[in-house]
Structure 1
Amino acid sequence: MKTSFFTALLTLICFSFMAFQCDDNDSATMEEEQTELRTLKAEIESFASQSECNTNTECQYIAFGSKPCGGPWGYLVYSTSIDTEKLKQMVEDYNQKEADFNTKWGIMSDCALAPQPSSVNCENNTCVAVY
Protein backbone atom coordinates (compact mmCIF):
# COMPACT_ATOMS: atom_id res chain seq x y z
CA MET A 1 0.00 0.00 0.00
CA LYS A 2 2.79 2.43 0.95
CA THR A 3 4.73 1.53 -2.18
CA SER A 4 1.81 2.24 -4.51
CA PHE A 5 1.12 5.57 -2.75
CA PHE A 6 4.75 6.68 -3.16
CA THR A 7 4.80 5.46 -6.75
CA ALA A 8 1.64 7.41 -7.51
CA LEU A 9 3.02 10.49 -5.75
CA LEU A 10 6.33 10.27 -7.60
CA THR A 11 4.50 9.82 -10.92
CA LEU A 12 2.33 12.86 -10.16
CA ILE A 13 5.39 14.97 -9.35
CA CYS A 14 7.15 13.88 -12.56
CA PHE A 15 4.11 14.72 -14.68
CA SER A 16 3.85 18.10 -12.94
CA PHE A 17 7.44 18.94 -13.83
CA MET A 18 6.90 17.87 -17.43
CA ALA A 19 3.69 19.88 -17.73
CA PHE A 20 5.27 23.09 -16.42
CA GLN A 21 8.72 22.84 -17.98
CA CYS A 22 10.01 25.88 -19.82
CA ASP A 23 10.26 25.49 -23.56
CA ASP A 24 11.68 28.77 -24.76
CA ASN A 25 14.06 27.29 -27.35
CA ASP A 26 17.19 28.80 -25.82
CA SER A 27 19.18 25.96 -27.29
CA ALA A 28 21.09 28.16 -29.75
CA THR A 29 24.79 28.41 -29.11
CA MET A 30 26.56 31.70 -28.56
CA GLU A 31 28.16 31.41 -32.01
CA GLU A 32 24.77 30.82 -33.67
CA GLU A 33 23.33 33.88 -31.96
CA GLN A 34 26.37 35.96 -32.96
CA THR A 35 25.91 34.87 -36.57
CA GLU A 36 22.24 35.85 -36.44
CA LEU A 37 23.15 39.28 -35.03
CA ARG A 38 25.81 39.81 -37.71
CA THR A 39 23.29 38.87 -40.41
CA LEU A 40 20.65 41.23 -39.02
CA LYS A 41 23.19 44.03 -38.73
CA ALA A 42 24.28 43.57 -42.34
CA GLU A 43 20.64 43.60 -43.51
CA ILE A 44 19.97 46.84 -41.63
CA GLU A 45 23.13 48.51 -42.93
CA SER A 46 22.29 47.39 -46.47
CA PHE A 47 18.75 48.74 -46.19
CA ALA A 48 19.98 52.08 -44.83
CA SER A 49 22.65 52.36 -47.53
CA GLN A 50 19.95 52.27 -50.21
CA SER A 51 18.82 55.71 -49.10
CA GLU A 52 19.79 58.75 -51.13
CA CYS A 53 19.63 62.34 -50.10
CA ASN A 54 18.59 65.25 -52.27
CA THR A 55 16.49 68.39 -52.01
CA ASN A 56 13.36 66.31 -51.34
CA THR A 57 14.77 64.18 -48.52
CA GLU A 58 16.28 64.74 -45.11
CA CYS A 59 19.33 63.12 -43.54
CA GLN A 60 18.87 61.56 -40.10
CA TYR A 61 20.63 59.18 -37.73
CA ILE A 62 19.61 56.57 -35.20
CA ALA A 63 21.37 54.87 -32.27
CA PHE A 64 22.52 51.45 -33.48
CA GLY A 65 23.56 48.47 -31.37
CA SER A 66 23.56 47.86 -27.66
CA LYS A 67 26.75 48.00 -25.62
CA PRO A 68 26.80 45.83 -22.50
CA CYS A 69 27.56 48.90 -20.36
CA GLY A 70 24.64 50.74 -21.94
CA GLY A 71 24.18 53.00 -24.91
CA PRO A 72 24.70 52.29 -28.60
CA TRP A 73 27.85 51.07 -30.34
CA GLY A 74 27.39 53.87 -32.85
CA TYR A 75 24.93 55.72 -35.03
CA LEU A 76 23.43 54.72 -38.36
CA VAL A 77 23.01 57.52 -40.89
CA TYR A 78 20.24 57.39 -43.51
CA SER A 79 17.90 59.59 -45.50
CA THR A 80 14.13 59.77 -45.54
CA SER A 81 14.08 58.38 -49.10
CA ILE A 82 13.58 54.89 -47.62
CA ASP A 83 10.83 53.52 -45.39
CA THR A 84 12.07 55.12 -42.17
CA GLU A 85 9.45 53.40 -39.99
CA LYS A 86 10.64 50.01 -41.24
CA LEU A 87 14.26 50.99 -40.57
CA LYS A 88 13.44 52.23 -37.07
CA GLN A 89 11.61 48.97 -36.27
CA MET A 90 14.49 46.88 -37.64
CA VAL A 91 16.99 48.83 -35.53
CA GLU A 92 14.80 48.64 -32.42
CA ASP A 93 14.47 44.86 -32.82
CA TYR A 94 18.21 44.48 -33.42
CA ASN A 95 19.13 46.62 -30.43
CA GLN A 96 16.86 44.54 -28.18
CA LYS A 97 18.26 41.25 -29.50
CA GLU A 98 21.81 42.45 -28.92
CA ALA A 99 20.94 43.63 -25.39
CA ASP A 100 19.38 40.22 -24.67
CA PHE A 101 22.46 38.49 -26.11
CA ASN A 102 24.77 40.59 -23.92
CA THR A 103 22.78 39.71 -20.80
CA LYS A 104 22.39 36.02 -21.63
CA TRP A 105 26.07 35.45 -22.36
CA GLY A 106 27.57 37.92 -19.86
CA ILE A 107 29.23 40.01 -22.57
CA MET A 108 31.44 42.87 -21.41
CA SER A 109 32.75 45.97 -23.13
CA ASP A 110 34.30 49.31 -22.37
CA CYS A 111 31.86 51.85 -21.03
CA ALA A 112 32.90 54.64 -23.37
CA LEU A 113 30.05 56.50 -25.00
CA ALA A 114 29.88 56.39 -28.78
CA PRO A 115 30.14 59.92 -30.19
CA GLN A 116 26.80 61.21 -31.41
CA PRO A 117 26.85 63.14 -34.68
CA SER A 118 26.45 66.87 -34.23
CA SER A 119 24.69 66.91 -37.60
CA VAL A 120 24.32 64.98 -40.84
CA ASN A 121 24.99 66.46 -44.25
CA CYS A 122 24.10 65.43 -47.77
CA GLU A 123 27.23 64.98 -49.87
CA ASN A 124 27.06 63.49 -53.36
CA ASN A 125 23.54 62.12 -52.67
CA THR A 126 24.79 60.31 -49.54
CA CYS A 127 24.13 61.26 -45.94
CA VAL A 128 27.34 61.78 -43.99
CA ALA A 129 27.68 62.19 -40.21
CA VAL A 130 29.48 65.26 -38.90
CA TYR A 131 31.19 64.97 -35.51
Structure 2
Amino acid sequence: MKRFFKIVLLAIVLQSFQCSDSNEADDSITASQLETKKQEIQNYINSFSCSESLGCGFIAFGSKPCGGPLSYLVFPNSVNLPKLQEMVKAYNEMNRLYNIQTNAVSDCMVVAPPTEVKCVNGVCTIIK
Protein backbone atom coordinates (compact mmCIF):
# COMPACT_ATOMS: atom_id res chain seq x y z
CA MET A 1 0.00 0.00 0.00
CA LYS A 2 2.91 2.36 0.74
CA ARG A 3 4.34 1.69 -2.71
CA PHE A 4 0.98 2.50 -4.39
CA PHE A 5 0.73 5.75 -2.41
CA LYS A 6 4.29 6.74 -3.46
CA ILE A 7 3.51 6.07 -7.14
CA VAL A 8 0.32 8.15 -7.03
CA LEU A 9 2.12 10.97 -5.21
CA LEU A 10 4.97 10.87 -7.74
CA ALA A 11 2.51 11.00 -10.65
CA ILE A 12 0.77 14.04 -9.15
CA VAL A 13 4.06 15.84 -8.53
CA LEU A 14 5.36 15.14 -12.05
CA GLN A 15 2.12 16.28 -13.63
CA SER A 16 2.33 19.61 -11.81
CA PHE A 17 5.66 20.34 -13.57
CA GLN A 18 4.31 20.04 -17.11
CA CYS A 19 5.18 23.07 -19.22
CA SER A 20 2.47 23.07 -21.84
CA ASP A 21 -0.29 25.65 -21.74
CA SER A 22 -3.61 24.29 -22.97
CA ASN A 23 -4.64 27.77 -24.20
CA GLU A 24 -1.66 27.85 -26.58
CA ALA A 25 -3.11 25.14 -28.80
CA ASP A 26 -6.51 26.82 -28.83
CA ASP A 27 -5.02 30.10 -30.11
CA SER A 28 -3.02 28.58 -32.96
CA ILE A 29 -4.04 29.41 -36.50
CA THR A 30 -3.80 26.83 -39.24
CA ALA A 31 -3.17 27.23 -42.96
CA SER A 32 -6.59 25.68 -43.48
CA GLN A 33 -8.26 28.39 -41.39
CA LEU A 34 -6.47 31.07 -43.39
CA GLU A 35 -7.55 29.49 -46.67
CA THR A 36 -11.16 29.22 -45.47
CA LYS A 37 -11.19 32.89 -44.46
CA LYS A 38 -9.61 33.90 -47.78
CA GLN A 39 -12.23 31.93 -49.70
CA GLU A 40 -15.00 33.56 -47.65
CA ILE A 41 -13.71 36.99 -48.66
CA GLN A 42 -13.38 35.97 -52.33
CA ASN A 43 -16.92 34.57 -52.31
CA TYR A 44 -18.21 37.81 -50.83
CA ILE A 45 -16.47 39.91 -53.49
CA ASN A 46 -17.61 37.56 -56.27
CA SER A 47 -21.24 37.94 -55.17
CA PHE A 48 -21.14 41.48 -56.62
CA SER A 49 -20.64 42.45 -60.23
CA CYS A 50 -18.95 45.56 -61.48
CA SER A 51 -19.98 48.07 -64.10
CA GLU A 52 -18.21 50.88 -65.87
CA SER A 53 -20.34 53.44 -64.03
CA LEU A 54 -19.67 52.10 -60.51
CA GLY A 55 -16.04 51.16 -61.07
CA CYS A 56 -13.70 49.13 -58.89
CA GLY A 57 -11.50 49.58 -55.86
CA PHE A 58 -8.66 47.69 -54.21
CA ILE A 59 -7.56 46.82 -50.70
CA ALA A 60 -4.29 45.56 -49.18
CA PHE A 61 -4.57 41.84 -48.47
CA GLY A 62 -2.53 39.50 -46.31
CA SER A 63 0.51 40.18 -44.21
CA LYS A 64 4.12 39.58 -45.17
CA PRO A 65 6.38 38.43 -42.32
CA CYS A 66 8.51 41.55 -42.82
CA GLY A 67 5.43 43.76 -42.82
CA GLY A 68 3.20 45.13 -45.51
CA PRO A 69 0.58 43.39 -47.64
CA LEU A 70 1.08 40.16 -49.58
CA SER A 71 -1.10 41.42 -52.41
CA TYR A 72 -4.08 43.57 -53.26
CA LEU A 73 -7.66 42.48 -53.79
CA VAL A 74 -9.81 44.24 -56.35
CA PHE A 75 -13.52 44.56 -55.80
CA PRO A 76 -16.54 46.23 -57.36
CA ASN A 77 -17.54 49.49 -55.70
CA SER A 78 -20.99 47.98 -55.18
CA VAL A 79 -19.73 45.92 -52.18
CA ASN A 80 -20.52 46.96 -48.64
CA LEU A 81 -17.09 48.54 -48.07
CA PRO A 82 -17.15 48.61 -44.23
CA LYS A 83 -18.05 44.89 -44.21
CA LEU A 84 -15.26 44.05 -46.67
CA GLN A 85 -12.75 46.12 -44.71
CA GLU A 86 -13.67 44.31 -41.49
CA MET A 87 -13.35 40.89 -43.17
CA VAL A 88 -9.96 41.80 -44.66
CA LYS A 89 -8.75 43.30 -41.37
CA ALA A 90 -9.58 40.04 -39.57
CA TYR A 91 -7.82 37.99 -42.27
CA ASN A 92 -4.73 40.23 -42.20
CA GLU A 93 -4.47 39.85 -38.41
CA MET A 94 -4.87 36.06 -38.67
CA ASN A 95 -2.15 36.01 -41.33
CA ARG A 96 0.15 38.13 -39.16
CA LEU A 97 -0.30 35.81 -36.18
CA TYR A 98 0.20 32.74 -38.39
CA ASN A 99 3.50 34.22 -39.61
CA ILE A 100 4.64 34.66 -36.02
CA GLN A 101 3.55 31.14 -35.02
CA THR A 102 5.34 29.51 -37.92
CA ASN A 103 8.41 31.78 -37.89
CA ALA A 104 7.63 32.55 -41.53
CA VAL A 105 10.13 34.38 -43.71
CA SER A 106 9.62 36.24 -46.96
CA ASP A 107 11.52 38.24 -49.55
CA CYS A 108 10.56 41.50 -47.77
CA MET A 109 9.96 43.19 -51.13
CA VAL A 110 7.33 45.90 -51.07
CA VAL A 111 4.22 45.01 -53.04
CA ALA A 112 3.12 48.17 -54.78
CA PRO A 113 -0.59 48.96 -54.92
CA PRO A 114 -2.25 48.96 -58.32
CA THR A 115 -2.27 52.27 -60.13
CA GLU A 116 -5.33 51.45 -62.20
CA VAL A 117 -8.22 49.02 -61.78
CA LYS A 118 -11.13 48.75 -64.18
CA CYS A 119 -14.24 46.74 -64.79
CA VAL A 120 -13.48 44.44 -67.73
CA ASN A 121 -16.34 42.22 -68.92
CA GLY A 122 -18.04 42.46 -65.54
CA VAL A 123 -14.92 41.59 -63.55
CA CYS A 124 -12.69 44.03 -61.66
CA THR A 125 -9.18 43.75 -63.07
CA ILE A 126 -5.81 45.30 -62.24
CA ILE A 127 -4.68 47.17 -65.35
CA LYS A 128 -1.36 48.38 -63.95
TM-score calculated relative to the size of structure 1:
0.74
- 1:42: Cα distance to partner? 1.0
State the partner residue of 1:11.
none
Does 2:25 match 1:27? yes
State the partner residue of 1:3.
none
Secondary structure in 1 matching 2:30? helix
Instruction: Give the Cα separation in 2 of the matches to 1:46 and 1:95.
Output: 17
Residue among 78, 92, 105 paired with 1:108: 105
Instruction: Give the Cα separation in 2 of the matches to 1:106 and 1:60.
Output: 32
Tell me the percent identity.
35
Distance verdict in 2 for CA 1:51–1:58, change over 3 Å: same
Instruction: Give the Cα separation in 1 of the matches to 2:69 and 2:25.
Output: 27
Instruction: Give the Cα separation in 1 of the matches to 2:52 and 2:102.
Output: 45
**Unaligned 5+ residue runs, structure 2?**
1-15
**Unaligned 5+ residue runs, structure 1?**
1-16
Secondary structure in 2 matching 1:114? coil
Secondary structure in 2 matching 1:77? strand
Residue among 36, 46, 68 paired with 2:43: 46
Q: Is residue 52–residue 119 contact of structure 2 (8 Å, CA) maintained in 1? A: no
Q: Is residue 51–residue 126 contact of structure 1 (8 Å, CA) maintained in 2? A: no
Secondary structure in 2 matching 1:70? coil
CA deviation profile, 1:65-109 (whole Å, cap 9, x unmatched): 001011111000001222221111000000011101111221111
State the partner residue of 2:91.
94
Tell me the C-alpha RMSD between the 2 structures.
2.5
- 1:28: Cα distance to partner? 4.9
- 1:39: Cα distance to partner? 0.6
Q: Is residue 48–residue 82 contact of structure 1 (8 Å, CA) maintained in 2? A: yes
State the partner residue of 1:118.
115
- 1:115: Cα distance to partner? 3.1
Moved over 4 A (4+): none
